[in-house]
Chains A and B, each alone.
Chain A
Amino acid sequence: MKIPLVLAATAMLMGGAARADCAFENDVDVKILAAAFEAWKAVTDAMAECGNVQAELDQEFRTKQPAAFAANPSLYQIGGVSNGTITPLLNEGTIRPLDDLVEKYGQHLQPNQLIRINGEIMAVAMMVNTFELTYRSDLFEEYGIDVPTDYDGLLAAAETLKDAEGIDYPLGAMTKSGWDLAMEFINVFQSSGEPLVNDDSTPNINNETGMNTLELLKALSDYMDPEFLVSDSTYVQQQLQQGRIAMANIWASRAGAVDNEAESSVVGKVETAMSPIAPFGDRPVATIWWDGIVIARNISDEAAEAAFRVAMEGMDTEMVEANNDAAVWLIQGYEPGRLAQGAIATATHDPAPLSYPSTVEMGLMHTALGNEVAAYLTGSRSAERTLDAIEASYSTAAREAGVLN
């Protein structure tokens, strides 16, 4: 299909000759495939300074990566992954343990960056991503609203701001039908601390928490643009930048854009706070994600060594100092900026939000939610039937994938 290719932002960066910024001169060809967002651009640009580095930043990476890494030799030496997309690489055994390389070249890494599976280091994280409440502090002040710490407070704030001057809608959300809407459901559900899938792979959503989650999503949608089912993260970012909404619980990696003077009309008027807590839960409505690098198994040890050294150069303090606000970095030298405060408050709340689970079942559940939740929000199906449908849709897919009998 040509459509995803058209939509995919593909950026190719060719590394020229080694520059002084890199500690060593790399003479082995190193290719990296990662997602296309600001933080990866910063890291791959820094890697390219070592020479012979070719970076491909592509939003279709999740489709390409498993097949490309399964090839022998692997088509890429380095992969950019998150805790969601590392699953197929781990399961198919196409990435290598990094303990030796970390010992040799990664002594400066923080223990927090080393992603261990059964004791072996399988990935090195560079940043965390989570959600934060992004709100217009000027409007909150004008209407005398305290920053909400739970969703009852958030709904009350939305009610107050319903007719506020200058904005179209009090609330924005990343609720585009499909992946985004499913993410929203997962965040709200996991505020309860319960898993969406049980240990025996059976679904755990057809219960009170599932019902509460759906009802909260519906209550929120009353304060949003009626076109909320086509609203993805870029759309919410633009709504914030153009001052059309007063608040949104969004990806921390998106918040920085509100201070971009070229695009935003609300520079300096936006603050961030912890993602509020759902009325039925005790954790912020968020999941914790990390992004980082993995090294392919199907390459020579020399190539792996060169790739790892290049990756370390890309993830060094120098890079963080130059791109401090591009992400919530885990790398030494990071100084959290004003718009990262909310994300940090979310991540450090006690009890902390759950990490997005790296499991086969979670992928199936994510798809089932993405396909079924919208019918409830458009009003064409009741909440009970929607939960039944999610359960049925998940079970069919899980049986087909062989994880459920």
Chain B
Amino acid sequence: MKFRTFAAFVGPSVFMMVVFIALPLASVFVQSFQVTQPVIERIEVESCTAGFLEQTCTTQVKTRPKINESGQVETTTRWVGLESYANLLQFDRVWAAISNGEPGRILQIDFWRALRFTLTFTLVTLPLVVGLGLAIALAVNNAARSIRGQVIFVSLLPFIITPVIGALSIRWLFYGDGIVTSWLETWLSTDISVAANGAAVEALMMFYRVWSVAPFAFVIFYAGLQTVNQDTLESAIIDGASRWQRLRFVIVPHLMPLIVFIALIHLMDAYRAFEEVVGFSSQAQRITLQWLTYDFLQPDDAGNRSISRASASAMLTMIGIVIILLPPLRRTWRDHKGIS
């Protein structure tokens, strides 16, 4: 292809990526080393507030941002180096916990608590998604042609449902007097409170993720299964290979590039888990890194938001994704170069 043609095809996409991904990323990177604050003044304010029968007026020293001549809040921006990262990672508390011989206390710091859960969540769901996706694909592939359409439709349903709605429906099955919980309670005749138990909430969040993402793996694997070399399979049967051996030595090696692909996508998505925290209201029990960033960005009633810590948290999340993606990426790179 001529360079000119190539550029014409790629140009718009590169432009979009620069505007919508690269520039915001650079801006977040810069902001993670800066703190922007309003210029604060302390003034005595008399404020009268409504009561049921009469007002109460109080005079109080209040901190208020200074307003400049054009009616805008005056702000200053200063470079703070790694301060926002330090506020997030709180190494002093980490060292204190270790030197006191109570490393469990590290998990009381939001960032480490979020990191612990995010990593567990990502690494536990990965094999389950790949395994379940492959199992459904094999089942559908071996199903009678007449019911295949229906089976595919049913298997795809969880993937089609909007994430939050999917999470909420599972929440309603289990939280409070949900159908499943009530049923379990009658059956075991005990009182079950799913949402009060951190481990149970964690398991539900993982269950939801596997349930909603497995269909995606299934579709990819099912497509892959259609291209398995039938001659190889037949010769394996003639050689006396069992069903398991055929799967182990013919089908899985053939699907390996797809497995790596699914793993890459899933690692990226699961590390940025967010819907689960909102859907299951799990803040008290479990939080994810992405939710932590969101929480910093969310303004409180007085309009404060922690942009700097949110930026630092976003950068750390990105670095985390890069690290977690390195093994599968290296593998793909090796395969690509033909070194094995």
Any B CB within 8 A of the CB of A381 = yes
Q: Which of A84, A111, A397 contacts B304 (CB 8 A)?
A: A397
Any A CB within 8 A of the CB of B45 = yes
Residue from A63, A111, A328, A396 with most neighbouring chain B CB atoms (10 Å): A396
CB 8 Å contact bits of B112-135 with A (1 = contact, 0 = none)? 000000000000000000000000
7 contacts between A and B (CB under 8 A): A62-B301, A63-B298, A114-B55, A348-B52, A362-B301, A371-B110, A377-B284
| Given A3-B278, A400-B87; A112-B55 close (CB under 8 Å) | yes
Docked CA distance A111–B54 (Å)? 8
Any A CB within 8 A of the CB of B251 = no
| Given A229-B284, A359-B63; A91-B303 close (CB under 8 Å) | yes
**Residues of A313-362 contacting chain B, CB below 8 A:** 328, 330, 343-344, 347-348, 352, 355, 358-362
| Given A227-B195, A360-B304; A116-B47 close (CB under 8 Å) | yes
Q: Which of B2-10, B35-43, B153-161, B326-334 contacts its partner? A: B35-43
**Residues of B within 8 Å of A, CB-based: how many?**
60
Contacts of A328 in B (CB 8 A): 52
Docked CA distance A199–B61 (Å)? 6
> Are B49 and A355 within 8 A (Cβ)?
yes
Contacts of B50 in A (CB 8 A): 112-113, 115, 125, 128, 288, 290, 292, 330
> Are B176 and A227 within 8 A (Cβ)?
yes
Could you tell me the distance in whole angstroms from the C-beta of A9 to the nearest C-beta in chain B? 15
Any A CB within 8 A of the CB of B285 = yes
> Are B284 and A378 within 8 A (Cβ)?
yes
Contacts of B64 in A (CB 8 A): 90-91, 360
| Given A117-B47, A199-B60, A380-B108; A178-B301 close (CB under 8 Å) | no
Any B CB within 8 A of the CB of A22 = no
> Are B51 and A87 within 8 A (Cβ)?
no
Residue from B37, B55, B283, B300 with most neighbouring chain A CB atoms (10 Å): B300
> Are A227 and B175 within 8 A (Cβ)?
yes
Contacts of B165 in A (CB 8 A): 6
CB 8 Å contact bits of B163-176 with A (1 = contact, 0 = none)? 01100000000011
Contacts of B304 in A (CB 8 A): 360, 363-364, 367, 397, 401
Could you tell me the distance in whole angstroms from the C-beta of A290 to the nearest C-beta in chain B? 4
Closest 8 CB pairs of A and B: A363-B302, A88-B303, A402-B37, A177-B284, A363-B300, A226-B196, A374-B284, A226-B193
> Are A401 and B45 within 8 A (Cβ)?
no
Q: Which of B162, B176, B299 contacts A66 (CB 8 A)?
A: B299
> Are A93 and B45 within 8 A (Cβ)?
no
Residue from B52, B87, B108 with most neighbouring chain A CB atoms (10 Å): B52
Closest Cβ neighbor of B109 among chain A residues: A389
| Given A6-B164, A88-B302, A400-B87; A288-B284 close (CB under 8 Å) | no
**Residues of A275-302 contacting chain B, CB below 8 A:** 288, 290, 292, 297
Contacts of A12 in B (CB 8 A): none
Contacts of B196 in A (CB 8 A): 226-229
> Are A87 and B301 within 8 A (Cβ)?
yes
Q: Which of A128, A344, A363, A375 contacts B301 (CB 8 A)?
A: A363
Q: Which of B53, B57, B283 contacts A116 (CB 8 A)?
A: B57
Contacts of A1 in B (CB 8 A): 274, 294
Closest Cβ neighbor of B171 among chain A residues: A230
Any A CB within 8 A of the CB of B67 = yes
Docked CA distance A90–B52 (Å)? 23
Contacts of A352 in B (CB 8 A): 51, 56
Any B CB within 8 A of the CB of A118 = yes
Any B CB within 8 A of the CB of A119 = yes
Closest Cβ neighbor of A298 among chain B residues: B71
Q: Which of A6, A7, A229 contacts B195 (CB 8 A)?
A: A229
Closest Cβ neighbor of A116 among chain B residues: B48
Closest Cβ neighbor of A235 among chain B residues: B176
> Are A177 and B56 within 8 A (Cβ)?
no
Any A CB within 8 A of the CB of B62 = yes
Any A CB within 8 A of the CB of B275 = yes
> Are A400 and B65 within 8 A (Cβ)?
no
Any B CB within 8 A of the CB of A83 = yes
Docked CA distance A361–B63 (Å)? 8
Closest Cβ neighbor of B86 among chain A residues: A396
Any B CB within 8 A of the CB of A85 = yes
Contacts of B299 in A (CB 8 A): 62-63, 66, 88
Any B CB within 8 A of the CB of A136 = no
Docked CA distance A245–B165 (Å)? 28
Any A CB within 8 A of the CB of B309 = yes
> Are A401 and B283 within 8 A (Cβ)?
no
| Given A113-B50, A364-B302, A381-B108; A3-B164 close (CB under 8 Å) | yes
Any A CB within 8 A of the CB of B152 = no
Contacts of A381 in B (CB 8 A): 108
Closest Cβ neighbor of A352 among chain B residues: B51
Any B CB within 8 A of the CB of A206 = no
Docked CA distance A348–B67 (Å)? 37
> Are A378 and B67 within 8 A (Cβ)?
no
Could you tell me the distance in whole angstroms from the C-beta of A160 to the nearest C-beta in chain B? 20
Could you tell me the distance in whole angstroms from the C-beta of B84 to the nearest C-beta in chain A? 8
Contacts of A6 in B (CB 8 A): 162, 164-165
Docked CA distance A389–B90 (Å)? 12
Any B CB within 8 A of the CB of A269 = no
> Are A403 and B63 within 8 A (Cβ)?
yes
**Residues of A217-267 contacting chain B, CB below 8 A:** 225-230, 235
| Given A227-B175, A344-B52; A87-B302 close (CB under 8 Å) | yes
| Given A116-B47, A177-B283, A402-B40; A360-B302 close (CB under 8 Å) | yes
> Are B63 and A230 within 8 A (Cβ)?
no
> Are A347 and B301 within 8 A (Cβ)?
no
Any B CB within 8 A of the CB of A108 = no
Any A CB within 8 A of the CB of B317 = no
Could you tell me the distance in whole angstroms from the C-beta of B115 to the nearest C-beta in chain A? 16
Docked CA distance A84–B165 (Å)? 31
Could you tell me the distance in whole angstroms from the C-beta of A206 to the nearest C-beta in chain B? 16
Any A CB within 8 A of the CB of B46 = yes
Any A CB within 8 A of the CB of B198 = yes
| Given A91-B65, A371-B110; A288-B302 close (CB under 8 Å) | no
CB 8 Å contact bits of B275-287 with A (1 = contact, 0 = none)? 1001001011100
Contacts of B234 in A (CB 8 A): none
Could you tell me the distance in whole angstroms from the C-beta of A123 to the nearest C-beta in chain B? 9
| Given A117-B47, A201-B63; A378-B285 close (CB under 8 Å) | yes
